[in-house]
Homo-oligomer: A and B are copies of this chain.
Amino acid sequence: MDLTTLRNANPDHWFKATAIRALTLDAVHAAKSGHSGMPMGMADVATVLFEKHLKFDASAPDWPDRDRFILSAGHGSMLLYSLLYLTGNPDITLDEIRNFRQLGAKTAGHPENFLARGIETTTGPLGQGLANAVGFAIAEEIQRARHGRKIVDHFTYVMAGDGCLMEGISQEAITLAGRQKLSRLILMWDNNNITIDGPVDLADVTDQPTRFRAAGWDVIEIDGHDPTQIDDALTRARRGDKPVMIACKTHIALGHAAQDTPKGHGALTDDQQLLDAKEAYGWKYGPFEIPSDVKTAWEEIGNRGAAAREEWENRVADLSDRKRDAFNRAQSGEAPKRLTATIRALKKQMSESAPKLATRASSEKVLEVVNPIMPETVGGSADLTGSNNTQTADLGVFDVDNRKGRYIHYGIREHGMAAAMNGMALHGGVRPYGGTFMCFTDYARPAMRLAALMEVPTVFVMTHDSIGLGEDGPTHQPVEHLAMSRATPNTYVFRPADTIETAEAWELALTSKSTPSVLSLTRQGVATVRTEHKSKNLTAQGAYVLAEAEGKRQAILIATGSEVEVALAAREALQEEGIGTRVVSMPCMELFAQQDESYRRRVLPAGPVRVGIEAAVRQGWDRWLLGERGREAKAAFIGMDSFGASAPAGELFEHFGITADAVIEQVKSLLG
C-alpha cells in the first residue's frame, strides 16, 4: 500500500483512522502483549462507520436506541477501546488505554461487556460476537414491532475476521440471520487473508461471498482502506431487505513492517518498527498522544447522535404512561410485580392436583402462566419444540412477516441459539429462553460459559436430563453435564423435583439480572413431592428439608430432580425399620452455597450419615456430602460412574443401581 497516496487522498479521514492505529501500537507496546494488526487493518472501516453511519451518543453509551457495534474479532480490542476513548466514552479514558491488559483496567485483553459501557458484548472466543449480533438484531426486530419505530429503530454492525468465519458457529449464525431476513444486521468482514498459522489458504479456500449468498445474505465487496467505498457500501447495506456482508479487503497491520504477515496478527512491540510505522503514517506524536484537532474531530463524531438521542428521549416522554412503563420495565430487566403471585397460584394449584408429570411438562405449565404476563420473554428451541415443551400458545412465531412473534425456531443450531440468546439478553428489552436436550449442553457450551462470564440472565432449558431419557442411549444421556454446568462460575443449575420446584426455579431464572440459569428437566414423569410449604420459594435457598426424620435422626438423604422421589421411597422404608431419615431436596447447589452457614448447618447438621442421590456423576457433590473442610459426616453417593445405555428408562435405573433399595443398603452400610 502506498500510504502517502491514501493520506493525501483524504487527510481528514486518514488522521482520524491513524489515531486508532497509533493508540493500538502504543498500548500493545506498553503492555508488551496484544493484537496490533486487526485494529490497524480495520481502522478505516471503523472510522467511516463511526463518522457517517453508527447512531450513537458517546456521552450516553446506554441509550437503548443506539446502533450496536460488535467486535466479533475480539482480539482486536484496541480498535474498540480506541474508538470509545476517541469519541469521548466516559468509561474508557486515556489512563485506561495506557493500562491496556493490566490488572483492574477496563481495557482487558479481550473486550468484556461488564467492565465498561460501550462494550456491547464479550468477545475473543471466535464467532461468538457474530452469533451474538444475530440475537441483537432479532431483539431489535421484536422490540421495534412491539414498541414502534419511534422508540426502537437501530442497526447492529458486527466486525468479524477469518477466524470468526471459519468457526462452525458462524454458519449457524448466518443461516439463521439469512432465514429471518435480518436486514438491520450488517457484517463487516476483515478480509485480510492472514491467520496465526499463515495465509488463510493454508487451511481454508472457502468462497465467502458465495457462502453468504447461499445463506440468504447480500454481499458487497470493497477495498477496506478506501473511505468512499466503505461509505457507499454501508449506505447500500442499510437499504437492503436482507442481512448484508461487506467483504472489506484489508491489509493486516497496515503500514508496519509486519503488514500482510502472520506476525502482524500478534503483538507488534519492536521500538524502531513502531517509530517507522508512525513515520510512514505521517504521525508525528509521542506515545498515547493525540493532537487536539484529531481528538476534537473524533469528539464531534461522538456528539453526532446527541440530538437524536434527546429527540428519542422526548418521544419516550411523550408515550402514554402505560407504554413508557412497559418499555422501561422490559429494558431494566425487572420482572413484573405480579410474577410472584402468578407463580404462587400455580404452585398452589399444582400441589393440590399433585400430578405425576415430567418436569419438562411442568416447565411448560409455568410458561403458560408466565409468558402472558411477561411480554419480554422470547422462547425457542433448537428443533426440539415438542420435546423441550418451550412453546406456549400465546407467543406467536417470530418470522419475517410476524416480528411480534415471540417463539423462535432456531433450527438444529444449539450453539447459535445459545449465542443469539446471549445477544438478545445483552441488547435488553427481551428475556430469552431456549431449549435443547441436556446432553447438547456440549454443543451450546462456549456460549453458555460466556453467558456466565458476561453476567447475562439467559435461560437454558435443558430437557431429557439423565438416563431417564431411555432408548436414545448414551449419545443423548447426560451424565457429566450437571457437573460441567456447576463447575462454571456464576451459573445457576436448577434440577427441580416436581412442578412446584420447577415453578420456583423459573421464578428465580426470570428475576435473575446477572446470572444465567440452566434448567435441568426430566423427560419422564415424576411425582409431585412438595405437598407442603408451597407459598415460600424454597428453591431460592438452594436446598431444604423436604421430609423430616421421625425419631432419632440417623441419616440424611440428599437428592435432586427425579431422584427426590427415590429418596422419599428409601426414607419410608428406612423409617419403617426405625432408622430416622431426613430427605433434603437440593434443586440448586449454587444458591445453597450462598445461604448463611447457620441455615446450611440446619439443613445438613453434622453427625447423621449422608447419601447423595442423582442420576449423574458424583463430581460436585462432595461438598455437601463430606463438608467443605472434611470430617463432617460419613457419606456415600448413588449415581452414575459411566456413560448410560440404550434401553427403556425404568430398566436403566435398575441396571445402574439408582433405586431406593440401593439407597437403603448404603445407609445401612454407613451406619455399620
Contacts and interface: CB of A to CB of B under 8 A. Distances in A.
A175 B206 contact: yes
Contacts of A631: 626, 630-634
Contacts of A201: 179
A307 interface: no
A439 interface: yes
Interface residues of A, number: 118
Given A202-B409, A471-B34, A475-B122, A619 B172 contact: no
Interface in A610-638: 610, 617-620, 622-623, 625-627, 629-636
Contacts of A620: 487, 619
B103 A645 contact: yes
Contacts of A474: 108, 112, 453
A378 B632 CA distance: 49
Given A203-B176, A411-B204, A489 B480 contact: yes
A364 to B, nearest CB: 15
A260 interface: no
B196 A179 contact: no
Interface string A411-423: 1111110000000
Interface string A634-672: 111000011101111001100100000000000000100
Interface in A128-183: 162-163, 166-172, 175-176, 178-179
A475 B453 contact: yes
Contacts of A124: 472-473, 475-476
A106 to B, nearest CB: 10
A654 B476 CA distance: 42
B211 A205 contact: no
Interface stretch (A224-232, A281-289, A443-451): A443-451
Contacts of A395: none
B443 A167 contact: yes
Contacts of A172: 166-168
Contacts of A632: 630-631
A273 to B, nearest CB: 19
A210 interface: yes
B409 A109 contact: no
A110 interface: yes
A278 interface: no
Interface stretch (A38-46, A339-347, A381-389, A510-518): A381-389
A298 interface: no
Contacts of A166: 172, 175, 383, 411-413
A483 interface: yes
A78 B109 CA distance: 50
Contacts of A412: 126, 162-163, 166-167, 195, 203
A629 B622 contact: no
A72 B517 CA distance: 31
Contacts of A489: 479-480, 617, 641-643
Contacts of A642: 489-490
A9 to B, nearest CB: 34
The 5 closest A-B pairs by CB, nearest first: A168-B168, A203-B411, A622-B622, A124-B475, A108-B646
28 contacts: A74-B475, A101-B646, A109-B646, A112-B646, A124-B475, A125-B443, A166-B383, A167-B413, A168-B169, A175-B205, A175-B206, A179-B201, A195-B411, A196-B386, A205-B216, A207-B213, A207-B215, A211-B215, A442-B445, A443-B445, A443-B446, A453-B474, A479-B489, A480-B487, A622-B623, A626-B630, A630-B633, A631-B633
Given A104-B647, A163-B412, A626-B631, 11 more contacts: A33-B472, A112-B474, A125-B440, A197-B383, A205-B216, A206-B215, A207-B213, A449-B480, A480-B484, A483-B484, A630-B632
